[in-house]
Amino acid sequence: MLTNNKNVLNWVDEMVALTKPDKVVWIDGSKEQLDEIRKQSVESGEMIKLNEEKLPNCYLHRTLPNDVARVEHRTFICTRNKEDAGPTNNWEDPQVMYKKLGEMFDGVMKGRTMYVIPYLMGPVGSEFSKVGFEITDSNYVVLNMDIMTRMGKDAIDQLGETSNDFVRGLHSKADIDEEKRYICQFPEDNTIWSINSAYGGNVLLGKKCFALRIASFQGKNEGWMAEHMLILGIENPQGEVKYICAAFPSACGKTNLAMLIPPEVYKKAGYKVWCVGDDISWLRQGPDGRLWAINPENGFFGVAPGTNLKSNPNALHSTEEGTIFTNVALNLDTNTVWWEGLDKNPPTNAINWKGEKWDCTDGSKGAHPNSRFTAPARNCPCISKEFNNPQGVPISAIVFGGRRAKTAPLVYQSRDWNHGVFVGSIMASETTAAATGAVGVVRRDPMAMLPFCGYHMADYFQHWIDMGQKLGDKAPKIFNVNWFRTDDEGNFIWPGFGDNLRVLSWILDRCEGKVDAVETPIGFGPKVEDINIDGLSIDETTVANLLNVDKELWKEEVGGIHEFYGKFGDRLPKELIAELQTLENNLE
């Protein structure tokens, strides 16, 4: 037993009585204990130890083919009133779900070891940080939670002997039956239950389940924000660092932006970029009135395919030690890993992600398209020295973005905070050929939080508006970017990757009042000459094209916004209705 906290002990006793494990192990986070669990995992065949010279302390894990991604349709927000979950979440009555899952959890750990994992989301000693406990029968979960969170004694110390403010997570692999797979959040009870999955996004309960779905609800009630945002520091040649939070739907280059490498012209001038977080931000008002952010996580749970020395060298270097790879290919000649897009040399003697002998010439994939790496943040070459700062970092700008071929310009600034909330609420991406279904369909994903908001999305918009009132003139400026404008042949016009720093520089110049802007129907755009294109093969005419606002396309967009807003009925904040009206007027 690691704690005398009666609230924790009583809850653990209840879960033991429910799941009936053979053995209960409290995870203290010590190297000895974790090494023993790694050893067991290799002996049982659950994990494969990789080449110690090339990938020290790294392991390969495979999930079942029916269990390779987050499952939105099996993910529920269980609130007492259905209305409080809202139209964008799957809802179920908590009593119904506790009963249903309670029957599935009854005796599920017979013959297995139950692990009790105390973990901390956020830096040690930070008032931002929150404690969770995850009970699981999975070695994989224990070892991943060690990378992704501050696990063990630090969490116990932060909670103290009397507090009841911790998130209760219960997980069992059970039979990994996809028909009985449930990931349920009970925000009013600070509780998460997950069963019949062994895939990271469904079972590492500190990640999306706690750090976004539960935390977004906590933030609304406690006056802070949990957001699906990277945190990035940009250091200028004078050594001053300014911080940006940015939200993007998947497949829009979020991790690449979080670990951006400055283009040559900026590098030579002395610019540096620091990663504070690649996925989740918790933001609250600091004593100085500004908005401050921490990254609640301690590692990266990144998508492997496409990660390489060109697309994201910092992410790749992060995986070189102490990493768990999931569902990638195994190179038998070198006992290392490989995935599509890593390099042009697929291994000829290999095992694919399903554990089968793999022939790289037969057109099949060696790694699953959603294969992952769980890597310690400390490995990242550009990790910020503020990463563990209990105060977090002060945020100058909030950036929203999506993938739009024609509609959204390269960058524009909102007129004020409420207009910025409107810009975030209408965020959208067009589907690509990578997703099943029609190409070019507009999918709305407000603030990139659609799958992760733990309560009614209209109330979430209202919370943003309330935060703006609290912050007043100290609020960060809000912007929208679109790296994905295409020409008539469908080629991307903007180079992207490291060159996105050119746009972020304009954003920071705007925050500091160093440059003027041009008023457009949708917000403030840059003057063409204020986007630095030194060293690029595009000219000012191309930049003007990238910044152009097509009124006819935006009139079509207004129709889509009306349709989306219609879902929220009377709960939609009146401020957003007014912003939509302003947009319509501006387009006339």
d(CA 145, CA 162): 24
From 78, 184, 252, 380, the catalytic residue: 252
Counting beta carbons within 10 angstroms of the beta carbon of residue 81, is it exposed (0 to 12), middle (13 to 18) or buried (19 or more)? exposed
d(CA 167, CA 83): 23
The yes-or-no answer on residue 252 being catalytic is yes
**Interacting residues of 188 by C-beta distance below 8 A, sequence separation 6+:** 79, 80, 94, 217
Q: Strands (DSSP E) along 299-418, which ranges?
A: 299-303, 324-326, 329-331, 336-338, 350-351, 357-358, 372-376, 393-401, 411-413
Ranges of H-type helices in 472-573 = 501-511, 540-547, 551-565
Token reading at 19: 């799941």
Token reading at 344: 């042009």
d(CA 79, CA 91): 7
Q: What is the DSSP string of 360-378?
A: TTSS--SS-TT-EEEEEGG
Residue found by looking up tokens 């945020």 in the block: 395
The answer to whether 181 touches 94, Cβ cutoff 8 Å, is no
User: How far, in Å, are 102, 171, 268 from residue 142 at the CA level?
Assistant: 23, 11, 43
DSSP state of 210: I
Q: Of 494, 556, 70, 485, which is closest to residue 303 (Cα–Cα)?
A: 70
DSSP state of 383: B
**CA atoms within a 13 Å half-sphere pointing along the CA-CB vector of 459:** 17
d(CA 378, CA 381): 8
Q: Of 431, 386, 136, 166, which is closest to residue 277 (Cα–Cα)?
A: 386
d(CA 424, CA 479): 9
Query: For residue 574, how far is the Cα from the chain centroid?
Result: 29
Q: Of 414, 80, 399, which is closest to residue 258 (Cα–Cα)?
A: 399
Ranges of H-type helices in 73-178 = 94-105, 139-148, 153-159
What 3-state class would DSSP assign to 273? strand
Residue found by looking up tokens 């406690």 in the block: 222
Residue found by looking up tokens 């037969």 in the block: 362
Q: Of 410, 405, 400, which is closest to residue 433 (Cα–Cα)?
A: 405
Strand partners, 235: 241, 272
Helices 574-587 and 417-425: angle between axes, nearest 10 degrees: 90
Q: What are the catalytic residues? A: 252
